[in-house]
Amino acid sequence: MNESRSAVVVDEESTRATDPVGASVDVGAPVIVIQPQRRWSLGIRSLWSHRELTYFLVVRDVKLRYKQTFFGAGWALIQPIMLMGVFGLFFGRLAGLPSDGLPYPIFVLAALVPWTFFSSALGASSRSVVASSQVVSKVYFPRLIMPVAAAAAFLIDLALSFTFLVVIEPFWGIYPTWRFVFIPGLAVFALLTALCFGVWLSALNVRYRDVIYTVPFLIQALMFASPIGYPSSLIPENLRALYGLNPLAGLIEGFRWASTDVNTNPASMVAVSFATTIVLLVSGLIYFSRSESSFADII
């Protein structure tokens, strides 16, 4: 009984240990208060208390993604490899873009690994709430779990494509350096970057289905605005901090720096991008928690 009691579907902020009337209700039984305007919150604590559900949704998404496909998890690699070929041919060979001294294919692939994760995770998380409308209108759980789980499910793909990058780097004479210790941190950064857009868009999508049409456009625009096929050293020195306002700029330069032996110093750009990400993420979380109570009514 005590075991199951801790599984309570309840927001901690509305849980009290004792009954206000002081009557003989079990101490420890949560009191759930239902009222119109809920308190301000970012919803992060309820995310933690529902981590098992998040886990199950991630597992579901991963299992479903490549069911009944011929290549299966190979798809995690096919997309970045194809793009690497396209970029290599058109931007590397024909346009002759610089690559900070790296072999061009590696230069591009090191950017495509976080980029592919970002674009897939963003797409999935912005669709997530509307895609689960059936569940949203029938049962309560913190809605934030949906965009988070949808994005997190692509971390597996990120790990696969990163492994592929590491495996092929030696063919161009590049070997792992101490900078690898930053990779896990950058993976978290990548997740936050996808979520800083995804949380906003998944909530907006419930009310305005316009979002479905905006996302592909947004992804396309960000692809050109991010240093994937070209190095950010092309940007004039004094504008580079401004360029970092694009969260992807810092993420990609940081990832490229950590996964190769490239001779750049992206620290300041990473800092600016990270700050942008956090601002977008926090505002998104606030918007999400303000609007989630009406999801079931308008979805």
Partner 1 sequence: MAPMVRAESLGKRYELGENTAGYGRLTDSLSNVLRRRRGQEVSERREVWALRNASFEVDQGEVVGLIGRNGAGKSTLLKILARVTTPTEGRAEIHGRIGSLLEVGTGFHQELTGRENVFLSGAILGMRRAEIQRKFDEIVAFSEVEEFIDTPVKRYSSGMGLRLGFAVAAFLEPEVLLVDEVLAVGDRKFREKCMGRIGQVSREDGRTVLFVSHDLNAILSTCPRAMLVDRGELVADGPSHEVAAIYEREHAAFAAVEGSFERTTRNPQMAERLFLGATVLSAAGGGHAAHGEPLTFVLRTNPEFPAREFGVDVRVLDARQRPVAYMSSLEMAGRYFAPGDTVRCEIDCLALAQGTYSVDIGAAIPFIQGMDLWSGEVGFDVVRFDPFDSGSTFAPDDRTGGVVPAHHWSREDDGS
**Which residue, 139 or 181, is less far from partner 1 as judged by CB?**
139
Stretch 246-275 residues interacting with partner 1 (CB under 8 A): none
Closest CA to 147 of 205, 91, 89, 97: 205
Task: Count residues binding partner 1 (CB under 8 A).
Answer: 49
Stretch 141-180 residues interacting with partner 1 (CB under 8 A): 141
* Least distance (Å) between residue 261 CB and partner 1: 43
21 binds partner 1 (CB under 8 A): yes
Q: Which two tokens stand for residue 280?
A: 């977008």
Q: Which of residues 82, 135, 234, 267 is near partner 1 by CB under 8 A?
A: 135
Please enumerate in sequence order all residues whose Cβ is within 8 A of that of 194, keeping only pairs 6 or more positions apart, or say none.
Answer: 117, 118, 121, 122, 125, 151, 154
* Least distance (Å) between residue 36 CB and partner 1: 6
38 binds partner 1 (CB under 8 A): yes
Identify the burial level of 141 via C-beta atoms within 10 angstroms of its C-beta, where 0-12 means exposed, 13-18 middle and 19 or more buried.
middle
Q: To the nearest 10°, report the CA torsion of 265, 267, 272, 275.
A: 160
x/- mask, partner 1, residues 279-298, rule CB under 8 A, reads --------------xx-xxx
Region class of 38: left (phi > 0), else alpha (psi between -120 and 50), else beta: beta
Q: Which two tokens stand for residue 272?
A: 């600016």
Interface stretch with partner 1, choices 70-78, 84-92, 130-138, 187-195 (CB under 8 A): 130-138
x/- mask, partner 1, residues 68-97, rule CB under 8 A, reads x-----------------------------
DSSP 8-class letter at 151: H
In this structure, are residues 299 and 149 in contact, taking their beta carbons and an 8 Å threshold? no
Q: Which of residues 2, 17, 27, 35 is near partner 1 by CB under 8 A?
A: 35
In this structure, are residues 289 and 40 in contact, taking their beta carbons and an 8 Å threshold? yes
In this structure, are residues 30 and 10 in contact, taking their beta carbons and an 8 Å threshold? yes
* Least distance (Å) between residue 249 CB and partner 1: 28
Binding site for partner 1 (CB under 8 A): 3-10, 19, 21, 23-25, 29-36, 38, 52-53, 55-57, 60, 63-64, 67-68, 134-141, 207-210, 293-294, 296-298
